[in-house]
Structure 1
Amino acid sequence: MHHVAFIVYPGFELLDVSGPASVFNGANRALRQRRKPAFYKVVLASAQGGAVESSSGIALETRPIADLRPDEAQTLLVAGAEREPLLPAMADPALRATLPALAGKAERFGSVCSGGFVLAALGLLDGRRVATHWDACKPLAEAFPKISVDPEALYVVDGALWTSAGVTTGIDMALAMITHDLDASIAGEVAKRLVLYARRPGYQSQFSPVLQAQAKGDSPFAELIGWMQTNLDAALDVPSLAARAGLSERTFHRKFVAATGETPARFVEILRLDAARLLLSRGGSLKSVAAQVGLFPPARLAEAFERRFGVAPRLFRDMHAEL
């Protein structure tokens, strides 16, 4: 079996552990349904062992990290937390004495959310590209200038190092691990079982324009944005959108910028390119994708895609298309 060891400490974020652990358990369930043996075994460890209370007040029973053998930490992941619990974890003598050796012998190691600070404090992230929670990107980069922090990615794989962004992205990273260890169909079954909206690739941005718009509870355009998402091939110019919103073009433009922080044209392009990126990762042809997202002909899609992502859509598809 492949052992996944989660390292926790007082005040850790429970979902950083329970989310990925549920994914690995889901993979075992899917394997059993195929009459195959379970593959993953989850291990919980902390500096001293025993019950460790999370930030939500729920405690998990753990083993002392010093007792972990390398074969019990083939995948080694450090959970994240808010700043106050992180600081003592970064300085904990037991973690500092044991984590480097375990990480060095692990098949892969990394962190969920802000757990990367613990690894960074040990020099384990120097010269590496990493992801962390959007709110921790600047502090991590400033505190550890030898690290390249990707402020947008949901998760980053840099050799044996796997790091994820905020909280629920640990689930996305765990699904990617299953795809790597087993196959994409198992990961798909787990995602379906967990009723996930979608399996999100690591390159997807933490900053969804729709999510940011929804975060403003008084946004007058929530319904319109939902319609835009499902009608990307429609005319989404300012006159059409203003008419649908029942506003004059000037008033619509002003209120839309105030509500979303983006001009209507920029917002529409972001929606279309994000959708195109997802469709390309599923192996869609440029012609089909361009038509579906309203960036036809394909040359128009290619120009906008390369301008935003720095790579041609055809090359992106070849690099990321699901097998």
Structure 2
Amino acid sequence: MHHVAIVVYPGFELLDASGPASVFNVANRALAQRGSSPFYDVGMFSPHPGPVRSSSGVSIEAQSLAGLQPAEAQTLLIAGAEGEHLEPALSDPILMGEIPRLVAGAERFGSVCSGGFFLAALGLVDGRRVATHWDATGPLAKLFPNVSVDPEALYVVDGRLWTSGGVTCGIDMALAMVANDLNSTIAVEIAQRLVLYARRPGYQSQFSPVLQAQLTADGRFADLIDWIRANLHEPLDVRSLAARANLSDRSFHRKFVEATGATPARFVEKLRLDEARLLLSRGVPLKSVAAKVGLSPPSRFADAFERRFGIAPGLFRDMHSDP
């Protein structure tokens, strides 16, 4: 079995630990249904064993970090926390003393969310590229200038180092680990079992254009944005969108820009290209992608994709699609 050790401490973010743990557990269930033995053995470890209270008030039972052997931590992940809980943990001599020992013997190590601060403080990621919660990228980069902090990525893989952005990004990273350890089919099945909207690749931004727009838009445009996302294959010109919003073309354009910070055309194209990138990572043919996201013919799609991402869609698919 592959042993996964998740490090927690008082005030840790519960989903940073429970999210990846759930992914590995569901992977074992998927294997059992295929008649195979479980692959993952997951344990929670803390410098102070026993019940460890998370920031949400839920406690988990943790084993002794000092008693953990390297063979029991083939994958070592450190959960994150908000600043008021992170600072005392960074001063815990047991925690800071045990992490380097376990990292040295791990096949794969990393962090979820602000857990990357532990690795950076110990000098374990100098010269390496890492991800963390978008709100922590600035402080992490400022405190540790020798670390290359990716300000947007959901997760980053740099050799045996795996780091993820905020909270739910740990689930995305764990799914990628499963795909690497087992296969992509099981990873997709896990995403379905967990009722995830999509299995998101690491390069996808933590800043969802839909979520950002829903945060600032009024109720009318929030509903419209949901409809746009579900109908990217449709003609989505200003006239049709304005009619759906029961506004004149001019009024709709002005109010949409005020609400979302982007023109309707630019907003729609961004959604289309983000969806196209997901489809390409699944190996969908270019012609089908162009049709699904409303950017036919393929030449139009290719021009828009390369303008946005700086790479031809065919090459992107070859580089990022699952084998």
Using the size of structure 2 for normalisation, the TM-score is 0.96
Q: Deviations over 1:256-293 (max 9, x none)?
A: 11211222111011111011111111212222211221
The answer (yes or no) to whether the contact 2:52–2:60 under 8 Å persists in 1 is yes
CA RMSD of aligned residues (A): 1.4
Residues matched between the structures, number: 323
Query: Structure 2: which 5+ residue stretches go unaligned?
Result: none
* Distance (Å, rounded) in 1 between the aligned partners of 2:149 and 2:107: 22
User: 1:290 maps to which residue?
Assistant: 290
Query: Structure 1: which 5+ residue stretches go unaligned?
Result: none
* Distance (Å, rounded) in 2 between the aligned partners of 1:218 and 1:66: 52
Q: Deviations over 1:23-48 (max 9, x none)?
A: 11111111111111111111111112
Shift of residue 121, structure 1, vs aligned partner: 0.7
- Residues 221 and 229 of structure 1: CA distance in aligned 2, closer, same or farther (over 3 Å): same
3-state SS of the aligned residue for 1:221?
helix
Shift of residue 50, structure 1, vs aligned partner: 2.1
* Distance (Å, rounded) in 1 between the aligned partners of 2:252 and 2:277: 28
User: 1:233 maps to which residue?
Assistant: 233
Note if 1:168 corresponds to 2:171: no
* Distance (Å, rounded) in 2 between the aligned partners of 1:226 and 1:62: 41
Amino acid at match of 1:163: T
Q: Deviations over 1:202-247 (max 9, x none)?
A: 1111111111122247342122112211222222222222222221
User: 2:28 maps to which residue?
Assistant: 28
The answer (yes or no) to whether the contact 2:214–2:225 under 8 Å persists in 1 is no
The answer (yes or no) to whether the contact 1:219–1:259 under 8 Å persists in 2 is no
User: 2:57 maps to which residue?
Assistant: 57
Amino acid at match of 1:178: V
User: 2:149 maps to which residue?
Assistant: 149
Amino acid at match of 1:66: A
* Distance (Å, rounded) in 2 between the aligned partners of 1:224 and 1:49: 50
Q: Deviations over 1:279-314 (max 9, x none)?
A: 111212222211221222222222221222222211
User: 2:203 maps to which residue?
Assistant: 203
User: 2:224 maps to which residue?
Assistant: 224
* Distance (Å, rounded) in 1 between the aligned partners of 2:210 and 2:124: 35
User: 1:118 maps to which residue?
Assistant: 118
Alignment identity in percent? 70
Shift of residue 96, structure 1, vs aligned partner: 1.7
The answer (yes or no) to whether the contact 1:220–1:259 under 8 Å persists in 2 is no
User: 1:128 maps to which residue?
Assistant: 128
* Distance (Å, rounded) in 2 between the aligned partners of 1:219 and 1:154: 28
